[in-house]
Amino acid sequence: MAFENDTELKELIRKSALLNAVSHDGKAQAGAMVGKILGERQDLRTKAKELSSIINTIVNEVNSLSIAEQKAIVEKNWPETQKKEKAEEKRLPPLPNADKYAQIVTRFSPNPDCVLHLGSARAIILSYEYARMYNGKFILRFEDTDPKVKRPSLIFYDSIRQDLKWLGCKVDEEYIQSDRLPIYYDYTERLIRDGNAYVCECPTEEFRRKIIVKEPCPCRSQSASESLEHWNLMLGGGYAEGQAVVRVKTDLENPNPAVRDWPALRLINTKKYPHPRVGSKYIVWPLYNLAAGLDDHLMGMTHIIRGKEHYTNMVRQKYMYEHLGWKYPEAIHYGRLKITGTFLSKSKIIQGVKEGIYTGFDDPRLGTFAALRKRGITAEAIKKMIIDVGTKSNDVTLSWENLYSYNRKILDATSNRYFFVPEPVELKVLQVPKTFQAKLALHPENPERGFRENTVTPKDADKEVNFWVSIKDAEAMEPEQIVRLMELFNIKIENKKNSSMTATFTSESYEDVRKIKVQLIQWIPKGEEFPCQVVMPDASVAEGFAESACKKLKPDAIIQFERFGFTRINEVNQKLIAYYAHK
C-alpha cells in the first residue's frame, strides 16, 4: 500500500481514531475521519480510497480496546483535547428572589435618538437572556419624552427594532412613552392631590441654593388644592417653557442633594420643538424618573437590570413608589463595559454622519450594531461575550480583540475559504509539466461542503502558466527560494522585477517541501480573476482580485479569505465588495 511506511500519517489517524472513539462510547466512526485527515493532509486528496482502507484498519484496532484503555491513552498523550470538551458554556447567575414572582419581567428602554451601539449590548442581552432563562417576558420600551434636547427621530424606532431582531432578542411587548402622556398626567395629579408632589415656580438657581442647604422652596408648602390649580394651569398653557416644574417630595435630609425634591415634569414649547410622533399635542413632558418609574410598576417589571449610573435614579424613584404604596422591583446594577478604541458617543456619531465624516450609521469605524453586522461580527459572538462578562458591578474593559476572538470561534467552523490576492502582481511559472486540476476544499474540515476547482494549463514551448499573487508575498520572495502555491505545486523563484516575477515548477507534492517549511501562498490564475474591494475597519479599501468562484457568492455570506481574514460579502456585481471583520 502507498503509505504503509508513513508513520506520521498512521500516528495522525490513530490520534484521530482515539479522540473519535472516546467521544462515541468507545467506537470510532471511520467515515467521519476521512474528511478530518484530508483537512490536515491535503496532499492525500487524490488518494482517498487507499486512505480510507488504512483508516479502517486503524479504527478496528482502536475499537478493540476498552473505552477505559482508550481514555487512558488520550489523557496521557493529548490531555489538552479533553479539557476543551469538558469546558461548559458559561451561564448567568440566578436572579435575586426569582421564585417570588409568578413571571419574570425585564425590559430594555432606549431613547430612539440614535442607533444602538455596543454600549447598549449589556442592557439588552442581560435583560433578554434573564427573561428567557425564566420563561418570562421581555419588554421594549421607547423612552421618547424629550422632544427638545434628546430629540427622538422616527428612523431610530425602526432601526432599534431591527437591531434587537438581529441580536436574536425577541420582544414580547412594546410600549412607546409618547403614547402614554395621559397616564403620566393621572398619576401626577394623584401625587399632587395626596400632597406628595407640587408645582414649583422657582428659577432653577434659586431652588438649587435652597435645596443644597436642605431648605424647602416656598412652593413646597402650598396646599394640595393650590398646587392642583397650578398643575392645571401648566396643562392649560398658563406658563411658558421654564416657568414651572412638578417636583416629587423626598426627604430633604437625603445625603445626595440631587435626589432632594427631584423634578418630575416640565414644560416644552412643542410649537418650536414638535415631537416627531405627537407633534405639538402636549406641552407638559415627564422627565426620566417619573415616566420610567411609573412604567416599571405599571408594566409589571420584576427585575430591572441596568448600569450602575442609574443607582441614584433608583433612590429618587423609591420616594415616588412609597408615595404610591408600591413595591420597587428588584434592581441589578452592573458596571460599565468599555471597549477600548470604540467611539460610542451618540452625539458624535450623529454629528459625524450628518457632516459626512462617516458614510452612514453602519460606517465600519463605528461601534454601532449596524456597522458590526456589516462587517460580519455575529450577534452570537456579542451575546457570548456579554454573558461571559455577566452582571458584575465592577467596570470591565474589553478590547476589539476580545470580541474578535469570540467571533472567530464561530466563523472558523462556518465560513468557507477562498483566495483573495490584495495588490496583485504577476507571477510567471515555467516548465509546468502538465495540466493541473486544483481541487480546493471550501472548508478543510468539512469536505462535504464541496470544492472550488481551478484548471491550470501550461502553454507554449516554455510550458508557461501565469498567476496573480499579492505584492506582499512577492516582496518577501528571493531568487532561488522554494515557495508552494497552496494546494497546487511547488515552485522555485528565478528572478524578480518590480511588478513581475518568474519561477520554475519544481514538484507537485506538499511532502517534498513540508520539512523545509516553505511559505504557502494563495494564487489566482491570470484570466480567472474577479475584481474585489475589501473595506477595512478604518474605512480604507484593500483592492485586489478574488478567485472566480467568488462570483457565485451571495450578499451577507461571511467567508474567510485565506491568509487575509474573515469578511462579509456586501455586493456581488461587476466586482465583489466585502467588509473586513478580523484576522
Number of residues that bind Zn ion (CB under 5 A): 4
Choose, by CB under 5 A, the member of 59, 62, 191, 202 that binds Zn ion. 202
Q: Which is nearer to Zn ion, 243 or 540 (CB)?
A: 243
Q: Which stretch binds Zn ion (CB under 5 A): 91-99, 197-205, 229-237, 440-448?
A: 197-205
Contact between 200 and Zn ion per CB under 5 A:
yes
Whole-number minimum distance, CB 202 to Zn ion, in Å? 3
Shortest distance in whole angstroms from residue 230 CB to Zn ion: 10
> Angle at which helices 67-77 and 79-86 pack, to 10 degrees?
110
What phi and psi values does residue 570 have, to the nearest 5 degrees? -105, -35
**18 in contact with Zn ion (CB under 5 A):** no
Q: Which stretch binds Zn ion (CB under 5 A): 105-113, 196-204, 411-419, 441-449?
A: 196-204
Q: How far is the CB of 207 from Zn ion (least distance, A)?
A: 5
Rg, Å, the chain Cα set = 33
Closest approach, Cβ 247 to Zn ion, in A, equals 7
The yes or no reply on residue 265 touching Zn ion (CB under 5 A) is no
SS3 143: coil
For cell 508575498, what's the residue?
473
With respect to Zn ion, which residue has the nearer C-beta, 181 or 244?
244
483 binds Zn ion (CB under 5 A): no
Residues 578/567, Cβ–Cβ less than 8 Å: yes
The CA distance from 292 to 439, in Å, is 61
* Only segment of 81-89, 195-203, 230-238, 450-458 that touches Zn ion (CB under 5 A): 195-203
Find all residues with CB under 8 Å of 44, minimum gap 6, and list them. 3, 9, 37, 38, 51
Question: Smallest gap, in angstroms, from Cβ of residue 209 to Zn ion?
Answer: 11
Interface positions, 205-244, toward Zn ion (CB under 5 A): 217, 219
* 456 φ/ψ angles, rounded to the nearest 5 degrees: -120, 110
- Residue carrying C-alpha cell 418609574: 293
CB of 184 vs Zn ion, minimal distance in Å: 21
**Phi, psi for residue 223 in degrees, rounded to 5:** -75, 160
Tell the smallest beta-carbon distance from residue 201 to Zn ion (Å). 6
The nearer residue to Zn ion, 202 or 381, going by C-beta atoms, is 202
DSSP-assigned letters across all residues of 313-324 = HHHHHHHHHHHH
Q: Which is nearer to Zn ion, 202 or 337 (CB)?
A: 202
| Residue 286 DSSP SS3 | strand
Nearer to Zn ion, 202 or 291 (CB): 202
Residue 491 touching Zn ion (CB under 5 A): no
Choose between 38 and 200: whose C-beta lies nearer to Zn ion.
Answer: 200
* CB of 261 vs Zn ion, minimal distance in Å: 9
**Helix %, strand %, coil % for the chain, to 5?**
40, 25, 35
Residue 467 identity (one-letter amino acid): F
Task: Please answer whether residues 219 and 204 qualify as being in contact, where contact means their C-beta atoms are separated by less than 8 angstroms.
Answer: no
Asked if 60 and 18 touch (Cβ cutoff 8 Å), the reply is: no
Q: Find the binding residues for Zn ion in span 344-403 (CB under 5 A).
A: none
**What b/e sequence results for 247-273 when a residue is b if at least 16 CB atoms lie within 10 Å of its CB, and e otherwise?**
bbbbebebeeeebbbbbbbbbbebeee
224 or 396, CB closer to Zn ion? 224
Shortest distance (Å) from residue 218 CB to Zn ion: 6
Comparison of 266 and 275: residue with beta carbon closer to Zn ion: 266
Rank residues 261 and 295 by Cβ distance to Zn ion and give the closer one: 261
Q: What is the DSSP letter of 423?
A: S
What is the contact surface with Zn ion in residues (CB under 5 A)? 200, 202, 217, 219
